[in-house]
Chain A
Amino acid sequence: MSAPIIRTEGIAKSFGEVHALKGIDLEVQEGTVFGLLGPNGAGKTTGVRILTTLLQPDAGRAEVAGYDVVRDAEALRAHVGLAGQSAAIDGNLTGRENLEMVARLYHLPRPDVKRRAGETLERLGLRDAGDRPARTYSGGMSRRLDLGASLVARPRVLFLDEPTTGLDPRSRLDLWAMIRELRDEGITLLLTTQYLEEADSLTDRIAVIDLGSVIAEGTSDELKDRIGGEVLELHVADRERVDDAAAALKELGTSEPVVEAHTGSLRIQAGTDGARVVVEAVRRLDDAGIRIGDIALHKPTLDDVFLTLTGHVAEQEQEEEEPVAAGRGRKRG
């Protein structure tokens, strides 16, 4: 296997008391799509900002396309493109002017600037809107133009920080198609996302990141195998009895029940025989005299990945109103 085009060794970054990254090791092969999957506040954006030289790490080292992100930052910038969470384009310029400006700032040869800007508008489906001020664009169009700005100079590595957050389903699918196209052209992409589905359908490899650390890495299938088939989720009618329910359901699925006490919910990995697990769960709880609020089988979600890997649900920044300890109670069986 050839040398990885992105390699990080123990990169760490703190903002005062907040340890955004606690030593991350990653390797990304050229020509692949790599997903950084994690909830808000996991450290994904910090990682992208370090790899695109916007931030300097406190510790560790990282190389992109053979350049050290700190020592060779200046030379590296010619080889990477970045599209962030919000569209970093100038609404007062037309789409074409935005792309030409960025192409000039990449120091492309003069004759290439106009040609590349035109080609990029074309491939993003913005040809007709290309000569309108970008402030008249819809959200999806702005995001596409932003992506265009990041690839107008044909960088070897493209960083997309939550590229589809806030997009409607149609725009999201368009963007997914474009990401696959770019990969097929040999560009390496690193994208961050909160959505397992997105990582699943787009990426060759995924690193799951939580609270500043990588907690799992592998292909989407490898990660799903760790969760194992479908997930049974149920709520007990009487929250107080959730631990009794967990005891009753011991050794039912392929994992021990994971309890979320404050919502009275309980999850079990059902493996490939979901229907049997549901029937058996209903029977056991009935025998134990525990009433079920609702019960459902579903495909693994980001929460399931987190539950399986860490025993807690994904932390949503500071918005969680429950005391942290309650949300993270790690009770098994």
Chain B
Amino acid sequence: MSTTTPQITIGMRMRWTLADGLVIMRRNLLKFVRIPALFVFSIVQPIMFVLLFVFVFNGLGGLLPPDVSYVNFLIPGIFVQTAIFGSTQTGIGLSEDLNSGIIDRFRSLPMARSGVLVGRTLSDFVRNLVVVLLMTGVGYLVGFSFQAGLLSAIMAILLAVFVGYAFSWVSALIGLAIKDSESVQAASFTWIFPLTFISSALVPLQSMTPWLQTIARNNPVTVWSNTVRLLTIGTVSYPNGIPFMPPAGESLAGLLVKSFLWVGLILVVFVPLAVRQYRKLT
């Protein structure tokens, strides 16, 4: 090409990706401001989850160590579960944008190719963060509390939201590949239910049959739930014979490393796949 073409450096590219991502994020978040009903109903469901599970599963409290209340066991798991559920909105939002034609506009602009995906996943990150904070507030009304200090509380919330962020990229790939928003929604729930329910998110592993326990033990949702749980309740004594996840001997540091490795692994695999799918759009 002629010498008049400005040289686009990697630094410029990264700046544009972030700047464009923030423009798209703002646009996505404005939707919640302009359609208040959408915002209300996107927080009603997670709050209902907190209340339902706390009251319905209350009988499981007997399986827990004496100094761990059932609410404190359950709500960290619900944080993780809700963040993953929330990630399905990424694919649904993208498929809606595809069908409205606005993605065509974005693709005809000199914006960063990954800007739309960065913006969409960031806005879903913010939404998930708001939802988890609200759930925390509701949790406090029904007896939940962070018992390991402010720093651990912040880490607990951030970890849950980062998990949701990683799954946003999985959801983005699904949304861009399937394109029809109702099908995207249906497709998302086929993997999300088994993923989140066959784990320690809502019930202690020991309440499951052995073969299910084996699956659940190797499910990253179990790792994340246990980590958020430990960050919530701090150190607990493990009286012998009381079946309780995480198993005695698993340190918080170890769990944190595992948690972020899993998040990193999902991002490393699905970010490039989703970006490639976006570039393949016609």
Residues of A whose CB lies within 8 Å of any CB of B are 49, 52-55, 66-68, 71-72, 74-75, 77-78, 80-82, 84, 86-90, 92-93, 97, 101-102, 104-107, 133, 149
Contact = CB atoms under 8 A, between A and B. Distances in A.
B1 A80 contact: no
Interface stretch (B27-35, B81-89, B126-134, B165-173): B27-35
Contact of A88 (B20, B26, B105): B105
Given A77-B110, A82-B108, A88-B105, A105 B1 contact: no
23 contacts: A72-B1, A72-B5, A74-B110, A77-B110, A78-B110, A82-B104, A84-B104, A88-B101, A88-B104, A89-B102, A89-B105, A92-B35, A93-B30, A97-B27, A97-B30, A102-B105, A102-B109, A104-B19, A105-B110, A105-B111, A106-B110, A107-B16, A149-B105
Nearest to B103: A88
B109 A105 contact: yes
Nearest to B26: A101
Contact of B107 (A54, A71, A149): A54
Contact of B27 (A68, A71, A81, A93): A93
B27 A90 contact: yes
Given A101-B23, A105-B20, 9 more contacts: A72-B5, A75-B6, A77-B109, A81-B108, A82-B104, A89-B102, A92-B35, A105-B109, A133-B34
Interface in B8-49: 8, 16, 19-20, 23, 26-27, 30-31, 34-35
Contacts of B100: 86, 88
B1 A106 contact: no
Nearest to A46: B282
Interface of B: 1-2, 5-6, 8, 16, 19-20, 23, 26-27, 30-31, 34-35, 100-102, 104-111, 115, 282
A54 to B, nearest CB: 6
Q: Is the interface of B mostly helix, strand, loop or mixed?
A: helix
A74 B8 contact: yes
A76 B268 CA distance: 31
A71 B5 CA distance: 12
A106 B105 CA distance: 11
A104 B102 contact: no
Given A71-B1, A72-B5, A106 B102 contact: no
Contact of A68 (B1, B30, B102, B282): B1
Contacts of B2: 66
Q: Which of B100, B108, B111 counts the most A-chain CB atoms under 10 A from its CB?
A: B108
Contact of A55 (B6, B102, B282): B282
B104 A107 contact: no
B115 A105 contact: yes
A89 B20 CA distance: 17
B1 A75 contact: yes
Given A54-B104, A102-B105, A149-B105, A92 B282 contact: no
A52 B109 CA distance: 9
B104 A104 contact: no
Given A74-B8, A101-B27, A133-B34, A88 B16 contact: no
Contacts of A104: 19-20, 23
A67 B110 CA distance: 13
Contacts of A72: 1, 5
Contacts of A80: 108
B187 to A, nearest CB: 24
Contacts of B31: 92
A54 B282 CA distance: 6
B91 to A, nearest CB: 18
Nearest to A86: B101
A330 B23 CA distance: 56
B15 to A, nearest CB: 10
A105 B35 CA distance: 24
Contacts of B23: 101, 104-105
B39 to A, nearest CB: 12
Contacts of A89: 102, 105
Given A55-B282, A67-B1, A90 B102 contact: yes
Contacts of A149: 105
B34 A53 contact: no
B123 to A, nearest CB: 12
What 3 pairs across the A-B complex have the smallest Cβ distances?
A: A88-B105, A77-B110, A78-B110
A259 B6 CA distance: 58
A322 B3 CA distance: 56
Nearest to A79: B110
Contact of A77 (B20, B104, B108, B282): B108
Contacts of A97: 27, 30
A88 B105 CA distance: 6
